[in-house]
Each structure stands twice: as structure tokens, then as C-alpha cells.
Structure 1
Amino acid sequence: MPALRCFPPRIILSLSLVLLACLLYWGALFNAQRTQLNNAEEQTRLRAMQMADALTSQVTTLMFGLEYLARSLAAKYQTGQMDYFELSVHSALEIFPPESFMQISIVDRSGDVIYSSHGRLQGRVSVADREHFQAQASAESEHLFIGRPVLGRVSGRWTIPLSYPLHQQGVFDGVLVVSVSPDYISSYFRSVFSEDDDVALLLRNDGDYLARSSFQSEVMRARVSPVREFMDESDAESGQYRYLTPFDDVERDYAWRRLENYPLIVSVGLDRERALLAVKAQNRLALLGSAFGTSTLLLASLGIALLFARLGEDRRLLSEGEKRLGLALEGGDMGSWELELATGKVIFDARWAKMLGLPAVSSVQNWQVIEERVHPDDRAALEEAMRTHLAGHSASFECECRLLHENGDYIRTSNRAKVTQRAADGTPLRMAGVQSDVTQQVAQRNMLAALFDNNGAEIFLTSNDRHIRLANQRAVDLFSAGGAPIDGQSSRVIHCDDESYEAFQSLYSSLRETGKVQVEYQLRDAQGRPRWFSIQGALLEPDIVDGDVIWTLVDTTERREAERALVAVRVRLQAIIEHFPGGVLVEDEEGLILLVNQMLLDILGLEMEPDSLVGRSGSVLGALLPGICMADAESFQDILLEDGRILRVSLVVVRYQVSHAGRLCIVQDITEQRRKEMDLERMAMTDPLTSLANRNAFMSRMRHVLGQPVAGVEKGALLMLDLDHFKRVNDNFGHAAGDQVLVHLAKILREVLRVSDTVGRLGGEEFAVLLPATGLAGAQVLAERLRSRLERSAVEVDGELIRVTMSIGIAMLDGEIKHILARADEALYKAKANGRNRVEFATAGRATG
């Protein structure tokens, strides 16, 4: 390569190293970009799986609620009380969101719709051919069946049928159908996404679509492609795959999860191209920037190589004047001077004279005259530097000082010099040096210090006549159209108008008096928009009151807008609290009331305005609600009022970071809620046929009795009762008659037993009686009284008398529950074996099972 022959070997080696570094950089850049793309794809898949998990949880909750609703409505329908059933249907339609249900219907065993929540049916409607009916008709157990979407014959709209079986005496008697709107599920899925091309699917395990966040109408009769991962891996609970959807030709990264208790799949797909768009754009910009930077580096390296080659050639040619040229290079292209130490005569060139505003012809001065131009504060430092160098204690004379210009201003100068001639005894005879004007550099140095101390601010350095000497890049970006330099312009360009510019002049008086000033002021940016700034001004040199000024500007426009927005938020919050379905009281950190809504006063029955409580101590709530604990800790308390109402008081501590910022008190009337809870609790603990305690309630009572300490008396006894030949009653008279016999026995038990005794139906015709604090003799008396009473009674069914007897086994309450039950069962079995209709006692200390 002939072109390289002009370069020394060291430069060729340096260029080779630069080229190698560029290649290594590009290799690392491509690898980093591949890693970024891989990370972005992994983040997309992770976000899809997180959203699939969240939607799976929501759908599971929805399905659990719908199954509970279907099972509850089926049980209420089977009671035969249609008014109660229709009231429950109406309540369900009001509780669930509008448009979530299409209808609730009852289908008889032949497949005919006999009830619809839409009202009276117009003619016969049959769903016998529907999947959701046929699946329940052939099912062996009661469960919720989720059918594929159908076009409703009553509603005329697409629905997802959820069916639950109805049985009468163990025989299939029809189904209850809850028809859910797929559009409701689809709209909920759409609300989750911020991008239109992201989708969510709800599918059955066989791949049938139930809902889709987009293109819903196209998939109502469709099934997903068999290539989807979950269609092949039926045992897998979750997974991920990539698929190009034919509906919109969008490739997405999908994550899916099966519901744990329902044959459903939730799948979420995120637009792969959109997810990677930002990373690809960033990579393209990085490639362009790197290409420009690499090209610049290579060109600069080549230019430097050429420069060094030229300098080498110049160095070979130049030999004379090396010392003077060296000083000139060190001092820069500035003025030079020479001093004859014996006479004090100073010789300077034209540039040195121009620097101080002197005529170029005046090339000779006396050193004393020069010293008189030095600022009084700088003379001592200049003389000390001169003495040190002349004594040979420093390699060169260096000093920065202020010199008086002919116009009366001081300029900052930097002087560097060396002794160029000495006598035989070492006495210095002549000095030569250079001088540069560093006023601008000093201003820039001070400017940089201000930039460092006020990071993120717009900064100007202005002269005494209010012209801009320097502006940092933030100021240029904000106030200059197109980023053009604004140095040298009047500061009028940043003011909104002439009036604003003139008014700002008044700040200079305070600035000269105190050395600094601070104000909030409105200026104009490059687009002509007014913006607010917090402006701080300070003299560049505090001892020069008419000197340059550093202005530091902090944009407070967004803060002011945020303050206005905060006021608007407070107004909206006031409206929300005022319409909150409960009483609200807000305290500040000192315990004083900030806010009270009208609902709180209504709940407490106070006839006053909410504002009348503002500013008072929050302890007033404790006086209005006796029994409430107003501690600083968060709590939930239920308070029973004298009028029978129950109020729930929730105390929430408000914290800002780790500091106490106040407290929120919410008061709600839960009287009706508590009544419903008590009704549900009673229903859960009571046998529905006999209204006696069910097995769970009875066992709970038995555990309680056994856990009570009893001194000096028997703990009690357990009676195990079983009707003799009860199967004959059901076979001969029917199950309805059998139910009447069980109700009759329950009536006898309630009439004969004591208030302290507990009687429960354990299942079928088996009953149990718990006799606390009763000995063996007392238990025998009560057992014989029950047996005799039943034997002497009869139940009339359809004009015919039914007589039954029962066998009773007695076990004392001694030992663990399972042993007591086993002994009572053993005694009952003995009574059955000895001819029935009798009372037998368990063998003491013996247990089976």
C-alpha cells in the first residue's frame, strides 16, 4: 500500500489498533442488540403469562360465583316456592353487573323451557337437542356444565349456557340454565389491554371459543387451531407459544393457563412486533449513531496521523528559535514581552498592546508602570511569583492577575515567563514571556461552577448592559429557535414583551445592594409560550457591583400546573367522599378533623352541617359511638347501638413514607348484612327437613360439652336413635310419607327433651341426643320416655295411620368423641339385635372403631 509509506511505523500501528478497536466495538454492539431483543421477547412472554395468571384468577372467581348462584337457585327452585325462587333470580340479576346475564331459565326433564327470567314464554321452546341439556341428563353427579356458545331461542342472542341439574327424589327432573353474555367477558378482556392488537381468549378444554377480546363474532361457532400447544398437551396446566392469527394477520406471543376447577383455558396474546418496536427503533438509532461515531473516529484518526506526519517533517526543518517558540506554544497565540531586569525596561509586541488597549507603537514601557496597572488585590501574588522564579526556586514564572484596560475595566490575564539570560555568577539579566487574556475563560470557569451547583437549571451570564455573554445548553434549547447561539444578544429576547423587560430592570437595584436576588418571573420560550421560572441572580464577582451577573432559572411551570391540578383533585375527592356509601371522617396528623361527609351525620342521627365539625378533635367520634376504641393502630370494630343497629367502624392510619399523616375513619351500617349472615349461619347449622341441628352443629356442641370442666357430676350421656324398619315406610308409602314420619319424630324429641339437651339429625333416619350433666339413670328415663311416646303415636298420611318404633343406644360421655360414638352405635346395634323398639346401654369402657 504506497499511501501508507508516508507514515512512520508507530502511526501505522496506532491506526491498526484504532481499526481493531472499531471492529471489536461493532461486534460487541451487535451482540448487545441481540441480547436486548432476546430480553424484550422474554419480557413480552413474561408479561403475557402474568396477565394470563391474573385473568385466570378473575375467570375462576367469576365461575365460582356463577356455580354457587346456579346451585343456590336450583336448591331454592326444588323447594317448590316459586315466589321465593323468582325473588332470588331478581336479586341475582341486580347483584351481577348489567349485561353479564342474558337470562336464567328452568328446563324440565323433557327439555322444554318452563321458566325464563325474561317473563312469560311465547309458545313452546325446547332445548332437548342442546349440549348443555344432554350433558346434565346423562350425568351421574351434580356439577356445573359449561356449554359451547349458542344462539338463544328465547333471547335471540349469543350466550354461554351454564347448566346445573335438578333432581326430585334422586331422579333427574331438568336443569337450571344461567346464560352468560360472551360480550360481557369480551368487554372485560378489552379493558385489560392498552393496545388494540393484544388479545385474550376464553376457551373450553376442547378448544371451543367462549369469548375473545376482538373479532368476537367470527369465533362464536369456531374452535381454535389444533396446532395450539394446549390442544396437544392436555395434561399441561400452562404454557406459551407463538401463533399468527388469520383474523388480523398479527403474530403474537401467547401464554395460557387452565382453570384448576373448571374445564376452561385462558390465553393471552401480545403483539410481538409492537412489543419489540421500541427496542428495534433504539437499535437502529444506536447503529446510526455508532456508524457516525466510527466514521468520525476513523477520519479523525487519519487526520491526526497526517498531522503527526506533518509535525514530524516540520520538527526536522525547524531548529532555530526553539526556546522562544516553545514559550509561544505554551502561552498560545497571545502577546509576548521581554524584561531587562537591570533597567526595568519592558518590550512588548502589538498583540500585547492591543490586549490592554494601548497603541501598537508604544512598544516600550517601564516595569513600574506595568505594576501600577495590576489590581491592588493581585499585586502581592505577582511580586511573590517573580521573587520565587528569580531566586531559582521555580522552573518558570506563572501568575494570573487583573490588569487595567485603557477603557477603565479590568481584564484577567495569564502570564508565563522564564529567565532567558543570566550572568556568570547566576544573576538573572533578562526574562521573556507570553501573556493571554483569560477573561472569557475565567467567566466560563465560574459559569461551570454555577452549572455544577445548579444542575438542571437554565443559566445565563449577562453583562452590565444586560446582554447575554454566555448561556448553557439548557438555556439555548429552551429559549433559542433551532438551537442557534444567543451569546451577544440582548436579554430582551427571553422576555414576553418590552414591559416585562423594563420591569425586570428593577431587580438590579436589590442585586447591587445585597449581591443576590431571587424572584418568580414569567419569560417566553423559543416557541413564544410564556413559562414561569424561579430566578436567582448573583454577581459574578461580588466585589464588582457593576460587573457581570449569573442568572439561574428553574422552570416552575409544571409545578404551578400541578398545584392547580391538586386543587382540582381535592374538589373531585370531596365529591367522591360526599357520595361514598358510608360515613367518612378524615383527621390530620394532629388529630383534628379535616373532612366529614353528610352520610356520617345521617348514620349517627346528627342534625348539623358537616363543616361544623371541621377543625374539632377527632375524639368527638368516640363520644358519639360509646364503646369504640380510637387507638392509633388500624382496626375494624362493630358497635351495637341502643336502637339495635350495628355499625362497622374502620380506622385506617394514613402514612406518608414512614411519618404519620393522619387517619381515615369509615362508618357503615351493617345491620342488614349481619342479619343475612346470621340467617346463613342458621341455615348452615340446621337440618332443612326437621329444623333440628345437622351433623356439623351437633358434633360442634358435643365437642363443647366434652371440653367443659365438670366437678362432682357426670359429664352426661349420648343417645343414638334409629327408626325401626324405616325402609318399609318409604317403600310402602313413599318418600314424602317417610319425611312426615321424620318430622313427627323431631316434634316428639323437642316436646320431651329438656332445654339444656341437644338433639340432631345425623343422617337419614338416624338421630342423636346429647344429655349434658345427666347420669345413667336419668338417661335411661329420658330414653324410655322417648321410645314410649313414639310407640304410642301415629302419623296420618292420606287418611292412613303409620306407626313406627325406634331403637336407642346409650353411651356415657367418657373419653374421646370417636369412642363415645362407637359405644353408642354398639348399644344401638345391640337394641336392633335384641328385637328393636328397646333401649340398650353401651358396655362400660369398651369402644369400637
Structure 2
Amino acid sequence: MQLDAQDVATARFLDGFPDPTWSVDATGRLSAWNRAAVTVFGLSAATVLGRFPQEVLGEVPTVDGPVDLRDAQGRRVGGAAVVWADGDLVHTSVRVCRGDVGSRSRRLLEDLLEHVGDAVVVVDAAGTVELLNKGAERLYGVRAEDLVGRHARGLWQDEEVEEYLEAVRRELVAGRTWSGVEVEFVTHGGRSLVVESAATALHDAHGGYAGAVLVGRDVTPVRELEQSLRAATRALRDRATQMAKATHRDALTGVAARSLLQERLSAALGASADGDEPVCVLAADLDGFRAVNDSYGLAAGDALLIAFAAHLRSALPPSATAGRLGADEFAVVLPGTDEVQAERIADVVRAWTPPTPLPGRGRRADDRRVGVTVGVVRATPVECRSPFDTGVRSVLERVEEDVRAQKNAR
């Protein structure tokens, strides 16, 4: 650009300013650019003269006030501008916020962040990276020298990085917090990561949004461990269920399941039909069990069932089979046992009480005392000779009806 005499005089005048200063002519183009501007912005006069200042510096103010400009490398240059007119020329001088104290403070901050294990990235309002510590280099697999001065979309390879940055900006601008948000992405090296992110807003001199400090912590190992534990828990539960089915045992109490109990009863009825041996069936139903569940919770109810099942097995002869019919309903097959012997066993079962007194706290006034109701029946010759389904069902229905009758009588 060929400078006229006025431009040359203006340029010499502006070189006396210690702060970066420039002039624009009536067309809005730069006509003077002092030495301080060359030093601060890294742009020679020959490079900028004749161009519009916004092409070179970004958003240039037209009145006095704070500025947020860019140098030749895209780095932020902030400060306060003074604007005045001189004929057809408009001059702008910027007092840059880069004193010795500020520079030392920034260097101290950068040195501190280098020793922080978490990934720390500082971006401006437009999403340009201003600072990226070593923790961020390790986590995202990038280099600070490749990203500082460029948009943060280069942090990882997923396109969702821009959606993430926009979501952070939107929440912070609205005055809301951003903390504990997990983000899944793939690094440039192909690693799939889960990062717990947090963000803090940065503000300019007028309280407006000026950027954010983004903090990320790799929680991938923790989430993988949790997933492995969930898978292992499911596998153990499935295995326990399979074993319980394979052995026909009740998974909670260890007594026979209904299917095994019915098989043992059917075998006892068949043996009685052939040899005329007596077969008795005992049924036991816990009193006040539902109130225990309601007052103390399912865990207390389960403990009660386990304790009663242990007592029931201890009261039986070796030939007997104890089984669980329902929630708190149990039955026992007593082959070769008559009514007198069965009643003696029933008396022992009736004598059961909870192993320790239940606490008074949590109980309601109408809660029943925890005990057990026992019924006993002897299989009839017809039941012994009946088909599997008919005979077994008949005996179990009669003994359950005996238990209900005793409960109603009380």
C-alpha cells in the first residue's frame, strides 16, 4: 500500500505511543500501525495496512471500552481501548492487560496446572483453546502445541465434541452448573473413554461469558469394573437359580422345593398302597409373618424363614422330607409314620419361637405374635392308590385345610 504524506506523519506520531495503536481512514481501512502493535499482535505494518481491522484483529471496538482481540497466532489479547477521531481518521489505542504481575500470575497458574492429574482445558467464548495441561494431553492423546489457539473440536475425533462444548456453554451462560457429567468418546488414537466432566465459567469485566475451564477425569476403569461386577452378579444369580432347580431345593431355606416334595409324597403314597404302611403329612404355617415383613422389611422376614426351616429339619426323622409350599408355608412327608408319631413331631414344631425376640421399635399395635400353626393328616387308602396328580393334590389340600381351620378357630 502506498502511503501519502499524512499517513506517514500519522504513523510517526503513533510510534510514540507505548501501547498498540492504529488508525483507519474514511473507508474504514487501516492507514497507520505503530511499533507496539507489531510487537503485541505479531503483524507487520506492511501486512495490515489497507485492510479492514476486523479482518486482522477480530471484533474491533468503535467506542471506548474493553476489547477482546486476536494476535497473529489466534491468541487472545484483552484490554481496554481508547478511541478518538482526528479529521477523517479514527485512532484506537489499546492498553493490553499483560503487565508483569499478570504474566507472572499466568505462568504460576500454568505451572500449577501441569502438576494436576486431571485434564484441564481453558477455552474462550468462541471455543478456542487457550490452555491445555499435560493431564489433558495424556487423557485426550493430543499435544498442547497443536491445539492452543485453535478450536477445541480437535480434542477428540467424535463429531459430538462440538455438541458437548455447546451444551457446556449453554448451561454456563444460563447460570447453571456443570458437574459430574459423564461423556463417552473415542480419542484420536482409537481409545474409547468415559470421562467425568466439570466446567467453570469465566467472565469478562462486564460479567459476560468469556469462556470456561473444562476439567475431565477418566472414570473408564471404574465403569468397566462396575460392569464386570454386574455381569458377575448376574452370572452367580443365574448359577444359583440353575443349581436350585437342578437339586429341587428352595434357594432361601434349603428345604425341598414344591416339585421335589410332591415327588417324595407320590413315592410314599405308592409304597403305602403296596405294603399298607401309614403315610402322614405335616403342614406348618408361620403366624404373624406378614407383619414382620411390613414392620421390619423383607430381610427380617427371610431370616425368620431360614431359622424356622432349620428348626423344622432338626425335628424330623431321617426318612422325612421337608419342603416349602409358599411364602411362609411348609410341608413334611412322613413315610412309615402313624398319627401318634406325627403328632409328637408336630408338638416339637409348634414349640418353635424366633431365635431372638423381635425389637419393639417398628412394630404396630395390631401385629400378631410370631409363632407357628401345625396341621397333620394321614393319607387314606384311596389317596394312596390314586394317580400321581390326584392323590398328591388331595393330601396336600386336606393338610392345608387343617392348618386354616386351626387358624380360624383361634
Q: Which has the larger radius of gyration?
A: 1
Q: TM-score range by the shorter chain?
A: 0.3 to 0.5
Which protein, 1 or 2, shows the higher relative CO under an 8 Å CA cutoff with sep ≥ 6?
2
